[in-house]
Amino acid sequence: MSLNTPLRQVLGLGSAKSGVHHWWLQRLTSVALVPLSIWFVVSLLSLPALDHGTVAAWMHHALTALLLVLLVLTAAWHSRLGLQVIIEDYVHTSGTRTLLLVLVGFAHVFLAAAGVFAILRVAAGGSA
Amino acid sequence: MAEFRLPANSRIAKGITHPAPPGARALREVRIYRFNPDSGENPRVDTFSLDTASCGPMVLDALIQLKATVDSSITFRRSCREGICGSCAMNINGVNRLACTTALQELSGDIRIYPLPHMPVVKDLVPDLTNFYAQYAAVKPWLQTRTPAPPDRERLQSKEEQERIDRPAACILCACCSTSCPSYWWNSDRFLGPAALLAAYRWIIDSRDEATGERLDELEDPFRLYRCHTIMNCTDVCPKDLNPARAIAEIKKMLVERQV
């Protein structure tokens, strides 16, 4: 039981004075993902075949590899921001929430790094 | 962590069915959520037969009629009966609205009346709005200035400046918007909700107010403001046709504007 006033409950620990950055980046990454995703799908569909050799040859182009790296980084960033919102919305136990946010952050950094590494390795012409 | 059912003591039990009044001419079924904390029983939904021929046109008239003639223990808030006090906000046929401005005629089928969603229930159709009012108080809904008021007259505002706050200031704090917002349902302890944010916006854009920056500082918070995901239920249900969703979007734009 708490005898705090309702106003004290609402004011809580005060304003975090952050959130604009998150909101703005979520919008920026979604705008960037529109051309990147269209480019990615159209490029794949316009390849003569989708076997490993053809796709690897396509990825040898510098511009292709660069855009793929951007796509992976932007998508990972956007996904992390979005999952953070979902966790904050639905997970109400503060310990679990913090833990999930940290895990989601690590997972995204790992996935983004793995994606970039894979692209660079194929683009640099290494054997598969 | 996740709850998929209502707590055991909130589940709705079978209620009482009251017989139709003798000599009734135009019957309509009205189902009303009933909860009495003193009884120790679960909430239930009672079924009433309303003779619309001998009743006023609005849902509030129906409630008053049933309270007067069938069950005097039906509990609800009401005052002005003309949509300006905001007391009789309730969930009628699945939509939050004012009982006094909702005509029985505009509702199809049976009439189902519940308290505003996802709020603690004091009794029957009376929700506990303590947290809601505290959130309103938290945004400091009054004029804050550093410039002293002119000694001989009011603080002046142009006609255009007044028109900007004219609509947001028409909010009657009925809580229809906040209690229709899923984000508010899940996080009402930290998310201020559309009503309080509309009130904050009303003071942020007030041409006489000099605490705009401080007001924005106080709102810039992942929970207080950014739990709004533009679901727009608030604007859909507002009985005064106000637009809290737009107000929140404008606040978000101002927060970006002062950074870029």
Q: What is the pLDDT of residue B3?
A: 73
Q: What is the pLDDT of residue B24?
A: 85
**Chain B interface includes A12 (CB < 8 A):** yes
Instruction: Reply yes or no on whether the pLDDT at A108 is more than 50.
Output: yes
Give yes or no: residues B152 and B226 share one domain: yes
pTM equals: 0.93
Backbone angles phi, psi at B221, to 5 degrees: -160, 135
Measure the CA dihedral A61/A64/A65/A70, to 10°: 160
Mutation choice for A interface testing from B3, B129, B221, B228 by most A CBs within 10 A: B221
Q: Is residue B181 part of a domain?
A: yes
Give yes or no: residues B189 and B219 share one domain: yes
Inter-chain contact A16–B222, Cβ cutoff 8 Å?
yes
Q: What is the pLDDT of residue B2?
A: 64
Instruction: Reply yes or no on whether the pLDDT at B201 is more than 90.
Output: yes
| B171 or A2: which leads in pLDDT | B171
Q: List pLDDT tens digits, range A38-77.
A: 999 999 999 999 999 999 999 999 999 999 999 999 999 9
CATH number for B13: 3.10.20.30
Bridge-based pairing of strands B89-92 and B111-114 is antiparallel
| pLDDT band at residue A118 under the 50/70/90 scheme | very high
Which of B1, B137, B221 faces A19 most closely, judged by CB atoms?
B221
Inter-chain contact B133–A6, Cβ cutoff 8 Å?
yes
| ipTM (interface pTM) | 0.89
Cα-Cα end-to-end distance for chain A: 63
Contacting residues of B for A20, CB less than 8 Å apart: 220, 252, 255-256, 259
Residue in chain B nearest A9 by alpha carbon: B189
- Average pLDDT of the segment spanning B212-238: 97
| pLDDT band at residue A128 under the 50/70/90 scheme | very low
Q: Name the domain boundary from B127, B146, B175.
A: B127
Contact of B88 with B77, CB cutoff 8 Å:
yes
**Chain B interface includes A31 (CB < 8 A):** no
Q: Is residue A100 part of a domain?
A: yes
CATH number for B162: 1.10.1060.10
Q: List pLDDT tens digits, range B143-197.
A: 999 999 999 999 999 999 999 999 999 999 999 999 999 999 999 999 999 999 9
Backbone angles phi, psi at B34, to 5 degrees: -125, 135
